[in-house]
Amino acid sequence: MRGATTGLSVAHGIVGIICNGGYNINKLCAVGEAIACDRGRRSGKVTVSIREVAKRAGVTHGTVSKVLGGNPKYSIPQSTRQRILSAVDELGYRPNYLAQSLKLGRTDIYGFYSGSRHFEIPNAYIANILEGLRAGCNECEKDLLLVGTFRGTDPVTVYNALANGKIDGLVVFMYEYDALCAALANSSLPVVAIVDPVPSIPSVSLDEQMGGRLIAEHLAERGHRRVVYCTAYAPMASALERHAAFLREAERLGLAVLEFADHAGFEELDAYMALPVSERPTAVVCWHDRAAESLLGHCSDLGISVPTELAVIGFDGVPFSPESQMRLTTVVAPWRDVAREAVRLLDRRVAGDAIPPLTHLSVEFKEGATG
């Protein structure tokens, strides 16, 4: 629904009416129009109401609503329809979406909340997720609202901001240990999680086990026997599952695995590379393409030849620099499709349909020039 960012103020405006016994649709719509008219007066602009259109056309305001709502179940004579449309054009009437949302009991807006994670719009990974959300909302004929935490970061405050009626459903990108997850899972607000599965919320993620296996198989086929795994900076469910799958497959294939943490810098890796040649690792698997690209820069600074001396494997398949898509050997993750599928499932959930607790999308191994 266009222009619904003002829905919160309307929600505040109708609290007394909803709580005082009468869920009176006409009264709620009248409040919505009153708010719009009041804004028009304060801004110096004249706001035309639906009742004025009805008076000009010689019909009831309910008939005007039926014509402008476009519901095919209402049979309105063509002559009446034309009078109404002419009155709309003459008076310059614009439908009040606030009032309509109150009457219909929905806003036609889906929200997206990223928890404590900060989005960098230039980041290609984030751009793919946002594009998938946009595409999914477009298919479902919904608007997309990116929900911030300007009201505060404590779970109760954030929950109240998310579940205040401004949105019909919510896609979340959160850690499963976020305190907000339990509140959202028990809420009447339909919610779907993406990227990191949340056990209590229907989730759309990647086949992380497939990704971990593909990398281990590739390294074994290339003859690597000692490898290093660069782990994620935080205990994210998706990264942990991928890591565990890689370790299982590596053990099955006879690969020895060392580790270092992404946030700890390269000192530990440098120590591994200083070992005797027979004990030195020949490949590094990074949990994320960005970590892999950072490692490529480190190797270049130290004069380590990639992939001759050290192969570097990433995960994501989303380029962070102009040449990275050609250089990096990685696992391609369909982040756009993950986000789009989440919106599709959310739309089904809003409609009252059952959806699977977990949906996995396949990944694809892409061999580049780094290993």
187 shares its domain with 281: no
pLDDT for res 12 = 30
Rounded mean pLDDT, 193-200? 94
User: What are the φ/ψ torsions at residue 351 (nearest 5 degrees)?
Assistant: -75, -5
pTM over 0.85: no
215 shares its domain with 315: yes
Residue 371 lies in a domain: no
The CATH number for 60's domain is 1.10.260.40
pLDDT for res 26 = 41
- What are the residues whose beta carbons fall under 8 Å from the beta carbon of 14, sequence distance 6 or more? 28, 31, 32, 102
- In the numeric block, the tokens 């009176």 are attached to 24
Has residue 39 got a pLDDT over 60? no
Residue 87 lies in a domain: yes
154 shares its domain with 63: no
User: What are the φ/ψ torsions at residue 150 (nearest 5 degrees)?
Assistant: -65, -20
Residue 122 lies in a domain: yes
190 shares its domain with 254: no
Has residue 14 got a pLDDT over 90? no
Total structural domains within the chain: 3
User: Under DSSP, is residue 197 helix (H, G, I), strand (E, B) or coil?
Assistant: coil
Q: 138 to each of 120, 143, 174, 340, 353, how far by Cα in Å?
A: 23, 7, 23, 10, 20
- Domain C-terminal end among 104, 124, 146: 104
Lowest mean pLDDT among 91-105, 210-224, 311-325: 91-105
Residue 296 lies in a domain: yes
214 shares its domain with 198: no
Residue 218 lies in a domain: yes
130 shares its domain with 229: no
Residue 368 lies in a domain: no
165 shares its domain with 280: no
162 shares its domain with 87: no
342 shares its domain with 201: yes
Has residue 203 got a pLDDT over 80? yes
The model's pLDDT over 144-165, given as tens digits with 9 standing for 90+, comes to 998 876 555 778 888 888 888 8
26 shares its domain with 83: yes
Residue 38 lies in a domain: yes
222 shares its domain with 322: yes
- Dist. CA 145–CA 154, nearest whole Å: 21
The whole domain housing 55 covers 4-104
The model's pLDDT over 244-284, given as tens digits with 9 standing for 90+, comes to 999 999 999 999 999 999 988 899 999 999 999 999 999 99
Of the segments 1-10, 100-109, 332-341, which one has the largest average pLDDT value? 332-341
- pLDDT band, very low/low/confident/very high, at 15 (cuts 50, 70, 90): very low
116 shares its domain with 202: yes
The CATH number for 113's domain is 3.40.50.2300
Please give the single-letter amino acid code of residue 121. I
- pLDDT above 70 as % of the chain: 78
Of the segments 30-44, 59-73, 117-131, 343-357, which one has the largest average pLDDT value? 343-357
Residue ranges of alpha helices (H) inside 23-169 are 25-43, 50-57, 61-69, 78-91, 97-104, 124-139, 155-162
pLDDT for res 105 = 63
